Amino acid sequence: MDGVKYIVAVASGKGGVGKSTVTVNLALALSAQGYRVGVLDADIYGPSQAQMLGVKEGVRPQTAEGNKFLPLEAHGLQAMSMAFMVNTREAMVWRGPMVVGAFQQMLTQTQWDNLDFLLIDMPPGTGDIQLTLAQKVPVSGAVIVTTPQDIALLDARKGIEMFRKVNVPVLGVVENMSLYHCENCGHEAAIFGTGGGDLIAEEYQTTVLGRLPLTLSIRELADSGKPSVVSEPDSSVSQTFAEIARQVAQSVSASESDGPTISFSE
């Protein structure tokens, strides 16, 4: 893709595991480490990146030459979302071909400006959008978001299997909501179980990139349009995202250097 060096899909097998929150904070963590980063919200039916980035309702992207859209900018990120195109209060009652068409239009007609990383916030599941992405552009890798819960792990496995079938390397797993910490009494509880991320990482020979707690601040800051990484850069949560970002950048650059080489001899 013009203007993009690496494309990373952030995906999950099911909804409600915090994939969009991980996407925006991972993007901000990469940006804080000096990379030029963009976010494409591929969830056509339920886009959430506009609110998480603090983009006001009704703000629309400008157009450029060649029938292109200029991405909006927020917190130093370039962003494109269906929420920038339509009234988000109305339901998108569209059939599959229309959804795929809208996604392809955002994917190919956005004029990204010299990005190191484009993070794609994937919709849940393993359907049309995922297949279209793998067929249309070279995806450098995928990050799988899950909770430790057994039911979530069932769907996370499907996500990993799907990316393997379309030859997209899985960079690792992010275990979200791994531990609940009570802000009043300090009690900790593994509400969704323990060890789920390790289990699936071992099963598929990948790694756990990081574990994020179930805390009120992560949700509140994302809802307010000022995610944790920009609002509380020195917090333990932000440091976890920084470590996840470091591993993602390292894995992507390593996979590129592992490609085939050509040598010449007399």
Q: Judge whether 101 is annotated as a binding position.
A: no
C-alpha span between 6 and 254 (Å, rounded): 12
| 88 contacts 50 by C-beta, under 8 angstroms | yes
- For the beta carbon of residue 246, count every other beta carbon within 10 angstroms: 14
Q: Judge whether 159 is annotated as a binding position.
A: no
- Where are the alpha helices (H) located in 33-80, listed in sequence order? 49-52
Helical axes 196-203 vs 150-165, angle rounded to 10°: 30
* Structure letter (DSSP) for residue 90: S
C-alpha span between 93 and 33 (Å, rounded): 40
Question: How many angstroms separate the first and last alpha carbons of the chain?
Answer: 37
C-alpha span between 84 and 107 (Å, rounded): 14
Q: Judge whether 136 is annotated as a binding position.
A: no
Q: Judge whether 20 is annotated as a binding position.
A: yes
Q: Judge whether 54 is annotated as a binding position.
A: no
> In the sheet where 4-11 sits, what is the strand order?
72-74, 77-81, 37-41, 115-121, 4-11, 141-146, 170-175, 208-211
Binding-site members are 13-20
Binding-site members for ATP are 13-20
